[in-house]
Amino acid sequence: MPAGAWIMLGFGALVLYGGLAACLVIAVRSTREKRRREDSGA
Amino acid sequence: MARERWASRSSFVMAAIGSAIGLGNVWRFPYIAYANGGGAFFIPYFVALLTAGIPLLMLEFALGQKYQAGPVGALRAVGRKWEWVGWYGAFNSLGVVMYYSVIMAWVVCYIVFSLNLSWGRDPAAFFSDFLGKTFTTSVVAGVARRTADPGAVGGISWPVVGALVLCWLSIYWILSRGVLRVGKVVWVTVPLPFLCLLILAVRGLTLPGALDGVRYYLTPDFGKLADPKVWLAAYGQIFFSIGLGWGIMIAYASYRPRTSSITNNAFITSLANCGTSFFAGFAVFSTLGFLAFRSGVPVEHVAKSGIGLAFEVYPAAISQIPFLAGLFGVIFFLMLASLGIDSAFSMVEAVVAGLEDRWHIRKRTLTRLVCLLGFALGLPFCTGSGFWWMDVVDAWFTFFGLAVVGFLECVIIGWFFDTRSLREYISSVSEIRAGPWWTICIKVVTPLILGISIALNLYRYLFVERYGGYPTWALVVFGWLVIGIVVAASFALSGSKAVVRKEEA
């Protein structure tokens, strides 16, 4: 495969799966934080 | 009565992802990417995702969540005169699910056909016979040609009707216990197609000629980026793929508490949807590369999209797989079935949520009625001419149904509503703030692109060409008349007497 194809493969994977992973980390952290606050409030 | 709630945030996100990911992710995106610059297409695709897909999904999530109502109730809360847009969205869902369920019925039949590769050496002819497609034979310059004949109804395909009954019973069973059961079902129907895709991609990439196919999919042609059509294709793909303009995302978000995060859920849903499309390209193009290699033709000769890819080209490739071909056929069609089912029941949910918000009839009764109506409306598509009717109805719902609702949502919220207060609400509940970029996208970018796309299609199909070469009467009856009925019904219902909730009164 030409180099351009590999570059677009890396670019696409990085944006989509990197972006998704970052959003999931934010969501998990936020949910944990919320639970911690609820527990300490109770 | 208290509103239903998703069991958890993850159930909601899974359901939204399941609704967004459908058949188009597998049979449309890879071909669109290949035809519009290969790897270079990812650039306009990501721009469209960030400037139209995610902002509009945030808007739909925000409407449902803030007003705790489906598409009809949410648009009514924005302004009474806009309620018809909510109905328009809900009817789009009903209109699409009536033929989408028939495609699922074909898929169910093909799971069985895969067991002994019933399509034989000529899957295209088998598919045509299976549907009982109606043709007219004409002689042009001494050459006999077969052309679509949407006027000859032909016989009804009973195996398809049987499979259609099965599909609607499944949809009813899933929705009959509300979003709690939906939230459980999506934990099977969302990961299952990923697993199937993974198996197909691994098998596809190990076949001879596979890398040639992948090369067609990924090799960038940056020159194409100067073509506005490529950008419109990217925006169109993003818009239709995420499931915007159907009222589904509004309905799903309405079952979340008002204080739930919006922005991050929209990002997760959209990125998961696009990530699936991107990955599906490898499964599809590796197999196409193998088929081209075996047939001794270039990949562009076998590259197809849509129904042709799923029921003609892919079965041809499956037949050529040297070991356990039938098993890979079953996996492929099982993947399509599991991709389709959660999109199908989410469309029904959008209609049911609209009716429930307006008249407060028991949800189970409404679900039963909508399922029966959807089944009845799907029956004409089980006839010999159903395939042609489906082609026209699908095009019109896409061009003049979903796109118009998306455009209207942006214009209403962007220009006739307090956009700032909605943005502040989104930011106040979300993990990621909605900055001024969101307002710009909703006010300018998304409606501009959708407006251009609608205007171009309108001009094209009114003045330049007859869609699909069908006779004018077929386009009037199955295109314009169907959309006309949807618009008229939307206005009629928005003016009807509602059962108003106590808190509204």
Per-residue model confidence as pLDDT tens digits over B447-490: 999 999 899 989 988 888 888 888 899 999 999 999 999 999 99
What CA–CA distance (Å, rounded) separates B66 from B243?
20
What pLDDT score does B167 carry?
A: 96
Q: Which residues pair with B145 in a beta bridge?
A: B138
What pLDDT score does B499 carry?
A: 54
Pick from A11, A19, A27: which is nearest to B431 by CB? A27
Q: List all residues 6 or more positions away from B268 whose beta carbon is below 8 Å from its beta carbon.
A: A20, A23, A24, A27, B13, B17
What CA–CA distance (Å, rounded) separates B88 from B94?
10
Contacts of A31 in chain B (CB under 8 A): 9
Where are the extended beta strands (E) located within chain A? Answer: none
What pLDDT score does B141 carry?
A: 67
Q: Do B38 and A1 count as a contact with CB atoms less than 8 A apart?
A: no
For residue B140, give the H/E element and its range: strand B135-140
Amino acid B193 reads: P
Q: Do B215 and A5 count as a contact with CB atoms less than 8 A apart?
A: yes
DSSP letter string, B67-136: HTS-HHHHHHHH-GGGHHHHHHHHHHHHHHHHHHHHHHHHHHHHHHHHHTTTTTT-HHHHHHHHHT--EE
For residue B361, give the H/E element and its range: none
User: Among all chains, which residue has been given the structure tokens 């409030």?
Assistant: A41
Q: Do B432 and A26 count as a contact with CB atoms less than 8 A apart?
A: yes
What CA–CA distance (Å, rounded) separates B309 from B311?
6
Q: What is the pLDDT of residues B221-268, one digit of tens each?
A: 999 999 888 998 899 889 889 989 899 999 999 999 999 999 999 999
Contacts of B219 in chain A (CB under 8 A): 1-2, 4-5
Chain B residues within 8 Å of chain A (Cβ atoms): 9, 38-40, 42, 46, 211, 214-215, 218-220, 261, 264-265, 267-268, 271-272, 274-275, 278, 431-432
Q: Would the pLDDT of A9 be above 70?
A: yes
What pLDDT score does B381 carry?
A: 93
Is the overall model pTM greater than 0.95, yes or no?
A: no
Q: What SS3 class is residue B153?
A: coil
Q: Which parts of chain B register pLDDT below 70?
A: 1, 140-141, 144-145, 497-505
